[in-house]
Structure 1
Amino acid sequence: MDQQLCHPECIASSSPDISYQRGVRYTYRYSTTIATTLQGSTSGRNGLALDCVVDIDAISKCHLMMQIRNPQIKRLSPQKEHSVQRLKSLRESLERSRLKFSLQGGKVTALCPQEGEQLWTLNIKRALLSMIQTSRTTEKQEVVKETDLYGTCTSKYERRGPLLVKTRNLRQCQQDRLAYFWSHSTRLREDTTVDSKLQCTQRHGTTVMEEVNCTEIISMVPLSGSTGVVKTQTVSTLTLLRAQKGTPSGVDTLGLGVLTDLQFVEEGAEGKARGRTSSPQEATDTVRKLCGLTSDQQQLSELFLLLAFQLRALSLPQLKTLWHDASFKCRNDWQPLLDGLPACGSEECIVLLTDLIRDEEIEQERAHSFLTTIALIPHPSPHIIGSVNALLKTPEVRTKALLTGSSLVHLLCQRRESPCSLIPQVQSFIQALKDTLGEGCGGEKPELLYALKAVGNAGLAASALIPQLNLCMQSHSTPLELRLTAIQAFRRIPCNADAGGGWSTPGESLLTDNTLRLSRLAFDTARVRRVFLPSCSSGDHRHHLTQG
C-alpha cells in the first residue's frame, strides 16, 4: 500500500486551528455510559459504561497517534453497577493496538488502523475521535457538512461565551445511508417513530481541546396500540488531564495501516470489514445446518444471513465448487444454497445464478422469480449486465431478461459520471433492443411489447433508440397498444434529448386515429411528452419488471 494513502499531505492554512504539538503527549480521560429505559416500566435502566485513559501523541503537523489505557467496563442495572471482570479479553483488545489518524482543519480526515485491529474496538475509537471534531470559524454560528461516527450530515456550531455548542442532524445521516442502500427510496413526509438528537459542548484551550461533553438521545415510539417510549441515552465526556513533553516510542515499528474513515461499520455487514474470509466448506456446513432446522425461525434467519455473508466472500470458482457439493435439497424440498445466491447479491453470486439459468438447471418459474430479484440489485456492475445479456439468447427467459437487463442498465448509468453508453455490456444490451424493435415494430407483438417496456426502463442509455420509437408510433400498421407503449418508453429519456425529428407526424396520426377520437392539435415533441409523460421533468423511478 502507498504510504501516502495513510499519511495524506498536511494542508497549510492561515485560519486558527487546534494544534497538537510534536513531542508533547496529551492525556485525556474518556467516559461513556449507554443506558436504555422504557417509559412506564419499573425495572429501571440497563446498559454499559466504559471508562479509560487516552494518550494522544503528535507525530507531525497533522498526523497523530492514540492509545487507550486502563479501560474499565461496567454493566449497569437498576440495583447497582457491576464491573465486568470476566471480560478481560475485551479490555486487552482495547489496549492492544495504537491508532494513527489525521486531524486537519478541526476534522479527522483519515484513520489508519493496524492490521488485526478488531472492528468493535475501532468503532469505539471512532466514537472517541468524533468528539474532538470541531469548527475553527471565528463566527458566532456555522453550519457545515461533516463525517463522523454517524455518517455524513450537517453539524451546527454555535459560540456561547467560552464554549462551542455542536448539534448534529442525525436523522439526515440515517436518511442518506438508507438512500445509498435502497436505490429508489422515498423519503417519508413525517417520521415520528424515531427521534434522534446529539449535542456536544466543547471547551477549547489555547492550543488543544480541553473538554467535551456529548449527549445523544434516541427515542422510539412503539407502533399504534403499544404503550411506553423506549429511550437510549449515551453520555460521553472527554477531559484533558495533562500535557507533558515526551517522545512516543515504537512509532517506526507501526505498520502502514489500512485507510478508512470515522463512519461506524456494522459488525458482520461486510465480509472484508469483519476481517475474515470464508471457505466453501464453511458454507457447506451452514447449508447442512439449515437443512437440520425445522422449527426455530430465529436461528433459521440468523443462519441464512450467515450463509449470505459467507457466499459474498467467495470467488466465482469457489462458488462453482460449492454448487457442485452443496446444491442439494432439504427434506422439505428447500434448496438453501440456491436461495442464498440472490440474497448474497455479489457480482460472483449473480454471475453463477445467471449461468445456472442459462444452462437450464433452474426451472423456468423460479428463473423468472430470480430475474426479478436481480433487477433490484442497488449497485449493478457491467459484468452483471453482461451475464444477463447472455440470457437474451435463451428463448424461455428472453423477455424477462430484457426487463431485468434494462433496469440494471438504468441503475448503472445513474451512478456513473462518465457516459455509460461507452460501456461494452451496455452497448450490447442496447443493440439487442434495437435488433428486436427492427424497422417500425414489424415483429411479433408480445416480444415487441417487452422490448418497448425495456426501452422505458433503460432511460438515458436508450436515447439512441429514439428513431426506432418514432417509427413504431408513425406506422399505421402498428397495433395501437404498441404505439402507446412506444410513447411511454420516453418516460426516463431526458426531455432535452434529441428526438431525431418525426414527432409531429406520429403525434398527429395518433390524434386522427378513430380509436382515440381526440381533438386535432398541432403536437410538437414537448407537447406530446407533457400530455403522455407527466413525469418527464421529475424522473420516473418505476421499473417494468412483470410480463403482464
Structure 2
Amino acid sequence: MGGLKPQAAIWLLLLIAHTQAVRENPLKDPRICGRPQCDSKSAKFNYGEQLYKYQYTVAVRTEFAGSGDNSSDLLLKSDLEIFFPKPCEGYLRINDAKLYDTLDELNDNESDSSEKTKEYDYYDNLANEESESQNYDNMHPKSSDFNVDLTKNLLRFAFHDGLISEVCPQEQETPWVLNIKKGILSAFQNTMMRFDVDANTTETDVSGQCQVQYALEDTDSSYVTIRKTKDINSCRQRYATHSVLQTTPYTFRDDKTIWPILKSQSHCNLTIDNNVYKEIKCLETHLLVPFSNASSGALTTSTSRLKLDGVESYSAGEFLEQNPELVERRATLVFDHTPAVKPSHDEIKAARELLVEMCRVGFPNIQREFIDVFTNFLQTSKSLDYKTLSVLLQRSASTCEQGRNHLLESLPFIGSTASYKVMRDQIINEKLTKQMAHDWMTALSFITRPDEETLETFHSILEYAKNRLDAEYTLGATAVVHSFCKHHEACEENLRVQQIINLLETEFLNLYNLFKGERRTRERMVILLKGLGNIGVVSSAFAEQLQWIIREDEAPVDIRLHGILAFRRVDCARHRSYFLDNYGNYTLNSELRIYSYLQAMRCPDYISVGVIKSILEHEEINQVGSFVWSHLTNLAKSNSPVRIEAQGLLLNDELSERFKMDIRK
C-alpha cells in the first residue's frame, strides 16, 4: 500500500467500499427509491420537470341504506403537488388539507356555477362571509391538527411508467399519515402495457394485492379515458387483526374461499391528457352482507377525485440539493395496520369510568355484562400513552376496591407500546408476584407487530433477567425480537436488535469462560442459547466462537447441542458447510452429528445433497445412519420443499437395505 500514490489509494478504497455495498444488497441502491434500473423508453406517461398541481377530494359516508337520512360523513379536501426530479422517482407534497364532518361542502362545489355568481351579485361580500362562516362550522374540530400532520413531510416514491413499486417515507412519518398518502398514490398507479390495449393483471396498492382489470372507455386525439375495476374479494394482505395472539395468514385457493362478510365494489375512471393524468374519479362501496337485503343494509361509500389544477415550472437540481439523497426507509403501498396512539381527555375519562364499572360488575359477584365492559376498557386503553396509563395504574387502588387488580389483569391484553412499558416497570421494580410476572412474559411473547420502542422496553427486561434462572424473561423477550425481525428486513442491522444480541452473547461468553460445572450456570447458558435461537440473529464473531465450542470435546454435550440449535433461524446457507463438516465427522458425538445434519437439511442444494449421500455410503455409526435414512424417507413423503432432494437420495437400494433394519427406527 505504501507504493501507491495518495490519490490512487483513495480511489482504491472507494472502489472496495462500493463493491462491498453492492455485494451486500445488489438490488437496492441507498440513493434510489425503488429498483436501481430505470427504463424510460416508450413510456405511457410523460411527466416532465414541472410541478403538477392537483385538487384531491375524498368523501366517505357510512349509513344504513334504505332506513332514511341517518349517516356518518367525513370529507377531505386538499391541494397537492406531484413532481418528478428524476426519471423514475417522484415526490408527493400536500400543501393544504381540510377535514369536514358533513358532505355539504362537497355538494356546494358540485352545484351550478351560475347560481353562485348570481348570489354574489346580490349580496356582494356578505355572501362570501356567510359561506366562510358556514364552512368553518362544518369543519371537523381536528382539521387544523390534521393539516399539520399531512403537510409536514414529503413522500418519495418509485414511478416506473405507472408502476409504484415502493414508497420511501421519512423516518418520522407516522403510519396513519403514510396510509393516506399511499391511498393518493394508489389512484395514480397504472400497470397497463399500453393505453389502447385492455389488460388483466395483479397490482399491489393500499387495498392489498388485488386482481385488476383495465378497459379503454373513450378516446380522442389528445386524451383517453380508462376504466379500472378492482376485485376486492381477490385481495391478499388486506386485513389485520388486533389481538394479543399471534396468527399466521393463510392464502386459500380461489374456489375454497369463505363467504365474505363484506360485499365490495371498486372502480375508477382515469382520464389521461397528453400522457398526463387530467382527472381520476374513483368509487368504492362496502356492504355488510349479514342482515342486508339487496342494496339495503350497513353500507360505506367512498368517492374520491383527483383533478389537475395547473402546471408550474421549478428547478429539479435545486430541489435535489436541498433534500436528502439517501433513502431513510422503504415500504410498499400496502396499508400499514399499526394503531395510532393519540390519547384525549375523553379517552382518559372513559377509561377511568370503565374501570369503575368493572369493579361494579366484576369480582367477587361477576355479572353478565362484565365481558362487554372489559372489552370496551381494552379498546379505550389502547390509545393511552405511557404517562397516562402509569397514572391510571397508580390511582387505580383508590379508584375502586378491585381497581388495581382489574388493571393489572388487563395490561397484557391492551397490546400497546405504553402497556408494555407499564408492565416492564412493574416487573423490574418487583411490584407483583413472580407467578403474575411469568404469566405476563408468556403473554407478551405473542406480540404481533412490535416497534423499536417496544424493543427498548424488552432490552430493559433482559438486563433485569441477567443471571436469573427464570427462563420466562429471556425467552419471552427474545420471542418479541423475532416478531420484530419477521416484519423488518435486515433487522440484524437495527441498532436496538444489535444491543439485545450483544447483551445475550456477552453474558453467555462470560459465563462459559468462568464455567466450572455449576448446574445453575449451565442452565443459564442453555437459556441464553435458546434466546439467541429464538431471535435468529447472531454476530459473526460470536458464531465463530460458538462453532468452536460445539467442536470442543470438554464442553458439556447439552451446551454443544443447544449451540447448534441457536442457528436454527440464522441464515442457513451461510453456515451450511460447517454443519456438513460436523455431520461428516465420524468421531463426533452421535447426537451432535444428527443435529448438524438437521441444520444442514434446512437449505439443501445439489452439492450438499451429494455430500450427504457420500457420508451415508461410508457411514460408520448405525444410529446416525438409521436416523438420517428414516428422516429422509419421511421427508420424501411429506410436502416439505426439500422433498425432491430427499427422493433423489432414496434411489440407492444398497443404502435402503443397510439402514432399514435398525430396530430403534
* Other-structure match for 1:429: 504
Paired residues of 1:200 and 1:213 also in contact (CA < 8 A)? yes
Cα distance change of structure 1 residues 180 and 490 upon mapping to structure 2, 3 Å threshold: farther
Paired residues of 1:441 and 1:448 also in contact (CA < 8 A)? no
* Other-structure match for 1:516: none
Higher helix share: 2
- Does residue 303 of structure 2 align to residue 236 of structure 1? yes
* Other-structure match for 1:542: none
Paired residues of 1:438 and 1:468 also in contact (CA < 8 A)? no
Alpha-carbon RMSD? 6.2
Cα distance change of structure 1 residues 439 and 413 upon mapping to structure 2, 3 Å threshold: farther
Cα distance change of structure 1 residues 321 and 245 upon mapping to structure 2, 3 Å threshold: closer
CA-to-partner distance for each residue in 1:19-45, whole Å, 9 max, x for gaps? Answer: 5997998778x685746669xxx8589
**Separation of aligned partners in 1, 2:493 and 2:481:** 8
Paired residues of 2:593 and 2:624 also in contact (CA < 8 A)? no
Q: Tell me how far 1:290 sits from its aligned partner.
A: 1.1
SS at match of 2:375: helix
SS at match of 1:430: helix
**Separation of aligned partners in 2, 1:301 and 1:45:** 31
Paired residues of 2:270 and 2:281 also in contact (CA < 8 A)? yes
* Other-structure match for 1:386: 459
* Matching residue within 472, 492, 499 for 2:569: 492
- Does residue 335 of structure 2 align to residue 335 of structure 1? no
Paired residues of 1:143 and 1:155 also in contact (CA < 8 A)? yes
Cα distance change of structure 1 residues 416 and 16 upon mapping to structure 2, 3 Å threshold: closer
Q: Tell me how far 1:126 sits from its aligned partner.
A: 7.5
Cα distance change of structure 1 residues 66 and 191 upon mapping to structure 2, 3 Å threshold: farther
Structure with higher Rg: it is: 2
* Other-structure match for 1:354: 424
CA-to-partner distance for each residue in 1:186-222, whole Å, 9 max, x for gaps? Answer: 3153443346442223232346545544343445555
Cα distance change of structure 1 residues 328 and 383 upon mapping to structure 2, 3 Å threshold: farther
Amino acid at match of 1:361: K
**Separation of aligned partners in 1, 2:416 and 2:406:** 17
**Separation of aligned partners in 2, 1:87 and 1:300:** 40
Paired residues of 1:192 and 1:221 also in contact (CA < 8 A)? no
Amino acid at match of 1:175: Q
1:93-132 equivalence runs, <5 A:
130-132=186-188
Paired residues of 2:203 and 2:211 also in contact (CA < 8 A)? yes
Cα distance change of structure 1 residues 412 and 442 upon mapping to structure 2, 3 Å threshold: farther
Paired residues of 1:33 and 1:49 also in contact (CA < 8 A)? yes
Cα distance change of structure 1 residues 472 and 437 upon mapping to structure 2, 3 Å threshold: farther
Amino acid at match of 1:187: Y
Percent of residue pairs bearing the same amino acid type:
16
Q: Tell me how far 1:376 sits from its aligned partner.
A: 2.3
- Does residue 227 of structure 2 align to residue 165 of structure 1? yes
* Matching residue within 137, 145, 151 for 1:89: 137
1:396-545 equivalence runs, <5 A:
398-414=470-486, 415=488, 417=490, 419=492, 423-433=498-508, 435=511, 443=519, 453-454=530-531, 456-461=533-538, 465-466=546-547, 468=549, 491-496=568-573, 497=575, 498-499=578-579, 501=582, 504=586, 505-507=588-590, 520-523=622-625
In structure 2, runs of 5+ residues without a counterpart are 1-37, 86-90, 105-132, 170-175, 219-224, 314-322, 324-328, 362-368, 595-620, 643-665
Q: Tell me how far 1:166 sits from its aligned partner.
A: 2.4
- Does residue 260 of structure 2 align to residue 193 of structure 1? yes
**Separation of aligned partners in 2, 1:212 and 1:165:** 10
**Separation of aligned partners in 2, 1:92 and 1:155:** 35
**Separation of aligned partners in 1, 2:535 and 2:77:** 56
Q: Tell me how far 1:366 sits from its aligned partner.
A: 0.5
CA-to-partner distance for each residue in 1:319-372, whole Å, 9 max, x for gaps? Answer: 766655556574236535434554555666535533432332110110111111
* Other-structure match for 1:250: none
Amino acid at match of 1:389: L
- Does residue 383 of structure 2 align to residue 309 of structure 1? yes
**Separation of aligned partners in 1, 2:53 and 2:249:** 48
TM-score w.r.t. the length of structure 2 is 0.52
- Does residue 237 of structure 2 align to residue 175 of structure 1? yes
* Matching residue within 73, 79, 93 for 2:103: 73
* Other-structure match for 1:370: 440
Cα distance change of structure 1 residues 183 and 143 upon mapping to structure 2, 3 Å threshold: farther
- How many residues end up aligned between the 2 structures? 475
Amino acid at match of 1:186: P
**Separation of aligned partners in 2, 1:246 and 1:486:** 63
CA-to-partner distance for each residue in 1:120-159, whole Å, 9 max, x for gaps? Answer: 9x988986775455458536337575544x4x54574624
CA-to-partner distance for each residue in 1:384-419, whole Å, 9 max, x for gaps? Answer: 342222332474x62222322332343355435163
Cα distance change of structure 1 residues 70 and 215 upon mapping to structure 2, 3 Å threshold: closer
* Other-structure match for 2:107: none
In structure 1, runs of 5+ residues without a counterpart are 1-10, 75-84, 113-118, 248-255, 512-518, 540-548
SS at match of 2:536: helix
- Does residue 273 of structure 2 align to residue 205 of structure 1? yes
